[in-house]
Amino acid sequence: MLGKWRWTKNIRITVFDLDGNVIQQDDIPNTITTLALNLWQSLLAGDLGAVDDGEIYYMDVGDDATPPTIGETTLVNALNRKALTSSSKPANGQFQTVFYIAPSEYNYQWEELGFFAGSTANANVDTGTMIARVLYSHLKNAAHSVQIERLDKIEEI
């Protein structure tokens, strides 16, 4: 008998050289925050007044490697914010967001990424509702670009 739901999420980070060749690819699980879980709770309860806009608009990049916890509301040390490049619904119950970082952008040691949604999210770091945080240690430089793909799947198991 079905009736159990599962929310799976994965981050795929692909590093490209200047010719567009893949030089590294990592699949990383991420920590869903309490804020994101409460958005779902309110939606399922029909409490739409409590549901701020849940669409992912931005990703912050930071340089702190403190392990994520579900209670976090911002990155530990956000340095830059990137606007969403694209989003899609690849299949039923799935939502994918993509962020592209050009060779000239964010050239420093990365340690943390955070995904932000909501009507209060804007171009300033740490604004909006942080729905997830992931640790990703990478020395970004001008010799490559990075594409970050987040795939959320909600399915019955």
Highest mean pLDDT among 35-49, 51-65, 131-145: 131-145
Q: Please check the confidence at residue 54 and state whether its pLDDT lies above 80.
A: no
List the alpha helices (DSSP H) in 69-150. none
Distances (CA, A) of 78 to 38, 47, 68, 84: 23, 31, 14, 16
Report the C-alpha gap between 140 and 102 in whole angstroms. 10
Q: What is the pLDDT of residue 2?
A: 65
Q: What is the total count of domains within the chain?
A: 1
Residue 14, pLDDT score: 98
Look at residues 107, 9, 12, 117 and name the one whose alpha carbon lies nearest to residue 61. Answer: 107
Helix, strand or coil for residue 53?
A: coil
Whose tokens are 């912050």? That residue is 60
Structural domain of residue 60, as residue ranges? 5-156
Look at residue 34 and give its three-state secondary structure. helix
* pLDDT tens readout for residues 78-135: 999 999 999 998 988 888 999 999 999 999 999 999 999 888 899 999 999 888 899 9
Backbone torsions φ then ψ of 72, nearest 5 degrees: -70, 145
Nearest residue to 75 via CA among 113, 37, 31, 28: 113
Say if pTM beats, i.e. exceeds, 0.75: yes
On the question of pLDDT at 1 being above 70, the answer is: no
- The predicted-structure confidence for 20-52, as pLDDT tens digits, reads as follows 999 999 999 877 766 666 666 666 656 666 556
